[in-house]
Amino acid sequence: MNEENKENEEIVELDNEIKTENDGIKISDDVVAVIAGVAVSEVPGVAGMAGRFAGGISEVLSGKKNLAKGIKVEVEGNDTKIDVNIIVEYGSRIPDVAFEIQNRVKKAVESMTGLNVEEVNVHVQGVDTDTAKEETSTENSEE
């Protein structure tokens, strides 16, 4: 019995060491923004991210997709607030899309960083009507 108690004591001590080590880790706002961006891109009904004009130009010139586009992150201590600017697909139910974004972003950021997500604010900046035009053109061509 004494050996089992010693093993349990060692495990508890190890857990305490790990917790104190995490306090010294600083996670960049950009890292949190990329994690949130990936989570948002997986939500059905999101046509794209609405970002700054300069970000769009650098994306075109570099040929790389900016995963943090349209996302603003504020990290204070162990808490974070995230603002997401999106463009929804025409025909999507906006409250459902926003709710799904909030859930996925919160879950992804908290599980990957250990930060406490206080807020995920979703700002709908527009509606992508190109998808609606494509659907009507394919329906008309079938007739």
The answer to the question of residue 13 being in a domain is no
The answer to the question of residue 3 being in a domain is no
Please, what's the b/e burial string for 50-81 (b: 16 or more CB within 10 A of its CB; e: otherwise)?
A: bbeeeeeeeeeeeeeebbbbbbbbebeeeebe
Interval 28-57: pLDDT, tens: 899 999 999 999 999 999 999 987 544 444
Interval 121-134: pLDDT, tens: 999 999 999 855 55
Least confident window among 50-59, 64-73, 78-87: 50-59
The answer to the question of residue 35 being in a domain is yes
Domain count within the chain: 1
The answer to the question of residue 135 being in a domain is yes
